[in-house]
């Protein structure tokens, strides 16, 4: 494209700046509609920034006060001369909305062209087509929406009226608070998986965090609650499939792996297949996926099938765009990107994460939120944090007793609950034993009687 003139309007920029100086009451609505980055001409952008800085001091904005505040613009030109000319030539302040919209629209067009140029550059670098498409979609998503004329705020009674309708629907059981995880005590603890939220499920390697994440998505999809999407950046889809079969059919995972099925295993396997047949549970096992690529795949699934929950295993394996200066900064950027996906797609996201081993050095060995590996931003971004704790040095831990600790939740009080891990079936079930007393917790006593009715030699 040889002529870029349609991508900006000097006239609209000049008239908008003139309106700011001629009518002080327009300052707030104009600065809410456009930003410095929306101006194409560097001189106009610089003058707008001076206006914003001057207004912040409480002084009126006109050519004289602008000159007193900053006599010269970056080009070396006189501030009073340039500002005075713009004020004199502004036809009318009444049309400021039209000027602002033109400036904003042209800015969006320029960004679209920049995004297209970036796609063209990526294509010339022989990057995978899927990555190029994902980057283009992310670039489009990053473009802010044009001003629709709606205010960026609402009166509280409007919010309250909508909330009352939602509360009434919950009372009449016509609206669920959140999606069920399939584990009764965990549902009570977190009060359901909420839309637009990110729940961090974290644990040490081998603690069962992957099992829990997959099981929740599986429960939602197989019980008719909704559509599940699982990203497994570490585990291949074949292993995910075997875990689903083991969990749904009560078939030993090891038997599925080695193929040594007994006669009574085949009916269970058939039953598992029937339970998952035609159910809306989707998986992606591609490694190194970036946040834009994850977002792109989620949008595809939502467009074709709907989408109700997303599970990502795990944050440490999500690819980087290479723009952050260290891994901690990269993970912080990734974490924020996942939060944006949850909000944009209106779904709960379960993001798995690893814990460092600091917890193993503490008495009781219980993890805390700050044990999340590499990034405090992950802890800050999360709406809810679930820490999977299974002490394999204790008798109860060897028998599958697992504590789910919730140190943070924005819609429920912090707490914990017990679940029973059945490792050979790759699943958790509701805990059947009794909760330990405070004295027993303090003494760290083995609680063999928690498992009455179970064979204590059976290791899950």
Separation CA 148–CA 330 (nearest Å): 34
Q: What is residue 393's predicted lDDT score, i.e. its pLDDT?
A: 77
Indicate the domain borders of the chain: 5-142, 178-451
Task: Tell me which residue of 260, 341, 326, 251 sits closest to 296, measured CA to CA.
Answer: 341
Residue 110 has pLDDT above 60, yes or no: yes
Averaged pLDDT for residues 10-17: 91
CA pair distance 80, 83, nearest whole angstrom: 5
**Which ranges of 192-323 does DSSP label H, i.e. alpha helix?**
209-222, 237-249, 253-258, 265-276, 291-305
Residue 48 has a pLDDT of 92
Structure tokens at 58: 């409480």
Identify the bridge partners of residue 405 per DSSP, sorted by sequence position. 387, 416
pLDDT of 438 higher than 60: no
Question: Per-residue pLDDT for 348 more than 80?
Answer: yes
Q: Give the tens place of pLDDT for each residue, 176-185.
A: 667 888 888 8
**Which has more confidence, 440 or 113?**
113
Residue-level pLDDT at 309: 93
pLDDT of residue 137: 66
Q: Which of 245, 214, 229, 329 is CA-nearest to residue 289?
A: 229
The proportion of the chain whose per-residue pLDDT surpasses 70, expressed as a percent, equals: 83
The mean pLDDT value of the chain amounts to 80
Structure tokens at 352: 């798995």
The confidence score (pLDDT) of residue 15 equals 92
337, 383 Cβ separation under 8 angstroms = no
Tens digits of per-residue pLDDT, 190-211? Answer: 888 888 899 999 888 888 888 9
pLDDT band at 373 (very low <50, low <70, confident <90, very high): confident
Return the pLDDT at 312. 93
Q: Which residues in 167-237 belong to E strands, given as ranges?
A: 198-203, 228-232
Q: What pLDDT is attached to residue 173?
A: 63
Q: Examine domains 5-142 and 178-451 and report if their fold is the same.
A: no
Mean pLDDT of 251-267: 82
Q: Taking 90 as the threshold, does the pLDDT of residue 289 lie above it? A: no
Of 7-21, 187-201, 368-382, the least confident: 368-382
What Cα–Cα distance (Å) separates residue 120 from each residue in 141, 305, 320?
18, 31, 20
Nearest alpha carbon to residue 224 among 170, 279, 181: 279
Nearest to 196 by CA among 15, 382, 454, 30: 382
Comparing 161-170, 231-240, 311-320, 421-430, the range with the smallest average pLDDT is 161-170
CB-based contact 69:86 (threshold 8 Å): no
Per CATH, domain 5-142 is 1.10.287.130? no
What pLDDT is recorded for position 152?
Answer: 56
Pairing assessment for the beta strands 309-313 and 415-422 based on DSSP bridges: unpaired
Tallying the residues shown for the chain, one arrives at 460
**At 331, is the secondary structure helix, strand, or coil?**
helix
Does 434 or 216 have the greater pLDDT score? Answer: 216
- Point out the least confidently predicted range of 150-164, 172-186, 339-353: 150-164
- Say how many CA atoms lie within 13 Å of 188 toward its Cβ: 8
pLDDT for 231: 92
The share of the chain scoring above pLDDT 90, in percent, equals 14
**What does pTM read for this prediction?**
0.63
Q: Write the DSSP assignment of 428-454 as a string of letters.
A: EEE--SPPPPHHHHHHT---GGGGTTS
Task: Give the model's confidence band at 160: pLDDT under 50 very low, under 70 low, under 90 confident, else very high.
Answer: confident
Identify the band that residue 47 occupies on the pLDDT scale cut at 50, 70 and 90.
very high
pLDDT digits (tens, 9 = 90+) for 57-72: 888 889 999 999 999 9
- CB-based contact 162:119 (threshold 8 Å): no
pLDDT band at 321 (very low <50, low <70, confident <90, very high): low
CB count within 10 Å of CB 332 equals 19
Structural fold of domain 178-451: Rossmann fold (3.40.50)
pLDDT at 390 over 60: yes
pLDDT-derived band at 459, boundaries 50, 70, 90? very low
């Amino acid at each position: 494209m040889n002529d870029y003139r349609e991508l900006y309007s000097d006239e609209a920029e000049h008239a908008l700046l003139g309106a700011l100086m001629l009518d002080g009451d327009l300052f707030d609505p104009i600065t809410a509609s456009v930003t410095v980055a929306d101006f194409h001409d560097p001189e106009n952008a610089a003058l707008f920034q001076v206006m914003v800085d001057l207004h912040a001091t409480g002084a009126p904005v006109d050519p004289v006060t602008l000159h007193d505040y900053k006599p010269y613009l970056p080009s070396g030109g006189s501030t009073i001369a340039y500002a005075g000319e713009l004020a004199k030539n502004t036809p009318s302040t009444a049309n400021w909305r039209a000027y602002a919209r033109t400036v904003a629209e042209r800015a969006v067009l320029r960004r679209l062209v920049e995004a297209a140029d970036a796609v063209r550059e990526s294509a010339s670098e022989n990057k995978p087509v899927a990555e190029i498409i994902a980057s283009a979609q992310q670039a489009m998503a990053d473009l802010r929406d044009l001003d629709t004329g709606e205010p960026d705020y609402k009166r509280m009674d409007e919010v309250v009226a909508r909330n009352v309708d939602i509360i009434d629907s919950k009372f009449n059981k016509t609206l669920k608070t959140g999606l069920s995880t399939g584990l009764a005590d965990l549902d009570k603890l977190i009060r359901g998986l909420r839309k637009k939220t990110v729940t961090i499920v974290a644990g040490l390697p081998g603690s069962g965090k992957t099992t829990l994440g997959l099981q929740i998505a599986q429960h939602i999809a197989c019980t008719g609650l909704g559509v599940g999407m699982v990203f497994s950046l570490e585990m291949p889809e074949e292993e995910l499939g075997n875990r689903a079969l083991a969990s749904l059919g009560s078939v030993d995972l090891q038997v599925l792996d080695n193929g040594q099925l007994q006669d009574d295993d085949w009916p269970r396997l058939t039953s598992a297949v029937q339970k998952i047949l035609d159910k809306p549970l989707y998986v992606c096992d591609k490694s190194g996926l970036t946040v834009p690529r994850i977002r792109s795949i989620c949008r595809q699934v939502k467009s074709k099938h709907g989408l109700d929950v997303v599970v990502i295993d795990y944050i440490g394996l999500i690819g980087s765009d290479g723009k952050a200066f260290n891994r901690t900064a990269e993970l912080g950027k990734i974490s924020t990107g996942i939060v944006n996906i949850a909000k944009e797609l209106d779904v709960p996201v379960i993001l798995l994460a690893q814990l460092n081993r600091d917890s193993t050095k503490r008495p009781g060995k219980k993890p805390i939120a700050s044990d999340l590996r590499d990034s405090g931003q992950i802890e800050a971004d999360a709406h809810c944090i679930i820490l999977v704790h299974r002490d394999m040095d204790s008798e109860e831990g060897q028998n599958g007793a697992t504590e789910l600790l919730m140190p943070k939740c924005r819609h429920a009080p912090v707490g914990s609950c017990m679940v029973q891990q059945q490792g050979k079936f790759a699943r958790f079930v509701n805990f059947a034993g009794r909760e330990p007393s405070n004295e027993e917790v303090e003494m760290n006593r083995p609680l063999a009687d928690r498992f009455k009715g179970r064979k204590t030699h059976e290791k899950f």
